[in-house]
Amino acid sequence: MSHTVYAAATTVAGPPGAVTYELNYVLNILAWLVTAAGVCGLLLVGSRMAVSLRSGEGDEHLTQFAMVMGACVIGATAGPIVDFVM
């Protein structure tokens, strides 16, 4: 196999395994952090809602809940999108 054919074959195959391993490791850590942040956000919104309803105030908790859930959806779909692109 000539040098140019070998170089083209390795370029088409993708990045080396060491690079993708480190990238996957970082993405896994970020995915866990996004999950933890989503759970903490939902707990905070839920506790604020409970305290507010107990005191008789009806604030805009649904919008806060929707924002936290939207962030969770974006964080959950980021990993599969990166895997698809790579």
Query: How many CB atoms lie under 10 A from the CB of residue 41?
Result: 17
67: its two tokens: 């924002």
Residue 57 within any structural domain of the chain: yes
Average pLDDT estimate for 19-23: 77
Domain extent, residue 23, equals: 15-85
What does the radius of gyration of the chain's CA atoms come to, in whole angstroms? 22
Q: How many structural domains is the chain composed of?
A: 1
Whether 80 maps to a domain, the answer reads yes
Examine residue 1 and state whether it is found in any structural domain, yes or no. Answer: no
Give the pLDDT score at 57: 75
The tens digit of pLDDT for each residue in 26-68 reads 888 888 888 889 899 999 988 988 888 888 776 777 888 889 8
Asked whether the beta carbons of 42 and 70 are under 8 A apart, the reply is no
- Asked, for residue 6, whether it belongs to a domain, the answer is no
Q: What is the pLDDT of residue 43?
A: 92
Q: Residue 4: inside a domain, yes or no?
A: no
Which comes out higher in pLDDT, residue 63 or 20?
Answer: 63
